Amino acid sequence: MGAALFISYGSLVPLNFHPVGWAEAVSRVAAPSFWDFRIRSKSDWAANFLILVPTAYFARGFFRTRMSFLGGFGAGLVALLACSSLSSLIEFAQIFFPPRVPSSSDLLAQVLGAGCGIGLHGCVGGRLEQWMRSFRSESRWERVARYGLVAYMWAFSLYQLMPLDLTLSPGDLFRKWRAGRIHMVPFRFAYDSAAEALYQFATDMALWAPVCVLFLLGSRMSKTTAVLSTVALSALLEGLQLLVLSRTTDTTDIVAAAAAAVAVALLWRPRQTSAAWGRGSRDSLLAVLGLVGFVVWCLVVVCVFWYPFNFTQNGMEISARLREFFRVPLVTYFYRSEIMGLTEILRRLLWFAPLGVFAFAMVSPLNRWGVGRLKWLILIPLLAAVAFGVELAQVALPGKVADATDALLGTLGAVMGSWGASRFVPLLLEQRLERKP
């Protein structure tokens, strides 16, 4: 249901409703121009194909489980009917929301994507569920880390390969190289400034660091093996990205992954500690470290999103930008390409996630005081205040786009960080107390 609502909203932004008579709307759908199945943009077609793959996959699983009398074929048929109906309603609704343009090509791509998702569940759904259940024989810590690694790499790989305008044509690859989108030598990509280059490199490191961490947590491999595995995954993804026409292939990303993995390996310590630490001392130390980390990371976020700190004092400009702050959610992403939109969303989530981790550590003593449930009543308003404060200040920064959507994404990223910490930190502390020297 959540996926369906998200797809519907994303297909109708910027929510510019324009009344159209029912007869005129039906005539537009019945017109021969609507039933033109030619593919005008490979990237748009691929995006429409992919948008319903996960929805249909989980829809078949839902109907297969909740309505077992349907059987596998029946569940797939009902899921396909539901997804096709959803796509048809969305395409018809786009008539009333210009500049969105309904298209039979988009509808066909979505239905084919739904069929692919249903077929994927039929082929690998049962085996994947069985494989996931096999993790139960491992320790709880390793099982959670392994789940995290699988989910993270699926999402990250999809992001790296979007919009999936793939090619195997040597001619296309040559044109991509001639257009300057293939850089086999690291640090050859031309950025506008050193600060932008540093920001991009730091972002790439932050994206790959969790992979090495999850390798170390979810298995008993050595640090060297974890580093090499992380670099190998990065090289594999970069190689696959070479086949995506609209993406830039840059070996600097592999260097960033290697740097992140080495940094994680150097900072990594075995999961063991002395029994001298009691629960109270442990929670107090965690709270102090969380407070320090929270303050430091707030400064990092401010530096990232307020650079170059060229604040204006023009009251009229600030007032105009402030009125635009509460524009329709996600409308600014509508006018960007799929890659730029996904990249900006991922960066916003990524930069604020550590803030949530540190905030969770900061309020950890509440568990010992018997009021652990209050921590979310403290965390969510605190994280939202920081995210909205950082974004609101951008109304006084020319060249920045201050948007409530970005503030909400920052809040979501921070809350996701706190939620992840709520799952991993207790496991980490339990493991440490179990493995006494």
pLDDT > 50? residue 432: no
Helix, strand or coil, per DSSP, at residue 368: helix
For residue 163, the model assigns a pLDDT of 63
Whose tokens are 């995290």? That residue is 148
pLDDT-based confidence at residue 72 (cuts at 50, 70, 90): confident
From the centroid of its chain, how far is CA 229? 22
List, for residues 363-412, the tens digit of each pLDDT value: 877 766 556 567 788 889 999 999 999 998 888 888 888 888 889 999 99
The predicted-structure confidence for 76-125, as pLDDT tens digits, reads as follows: 898 889 888 888 888 888 888 787 777 788 888 888 988 888 888 888 87
| Of residues 303 and 218, more confidently modeled | 303
Percent of the chain scored above 70 by pLDDT? 80
Specify the pLDDT at position 170. 77
Give the tokens for residue 6.
């998200």
CA 108 to each of CA 54, 104, 152, 198, 320: distance values in angstroms, whole numbers, following the listed order:
16, 6, 30, 42, 42
Mean pLDDT value across residues 17-43 = 76
- List the structure tokens of 62: 């839902």
Lowest mean pLDDT among 216-230, 263-277, 385-399: 263-277
Range 18-31 average pLDDT: 79
Asked if residue 411 lies in contact with residue 384, where contact means CB atoms within 8 angstroms, the answer is yes
Yes or no: say if 328 and 14 are a contact pair by the CB < 8 Å rule: yes
Res. 133 pLDDT band, cuts 50 70 90: low
Distant-in-sequence, close-in-space partners of 18: CB < 8 Å, separation ≥ 6: 96, 97, 98
Residues 272 and 434: beta-carbon distance below 8 Å: no
With a pLDDT cut of 90, the percent of the chain lying above it is 7
pLDDT tens digits, 134-180: 555 555 566 667 777 777 787 777 777 766 666 666 777 888 888 88
Across 86-100, 267-281, 338-352, 398-412, which has the greatest mean pLDDT? 398-412
**Residue 60 pLDDT > 60, yes or no?**
yes
State residue 419's pLDDT score: 87
Confidence of residue 358 (pLDDT cuts 50, 70, 90): confident
Residue 258 is predicted with a pLDDT of 93
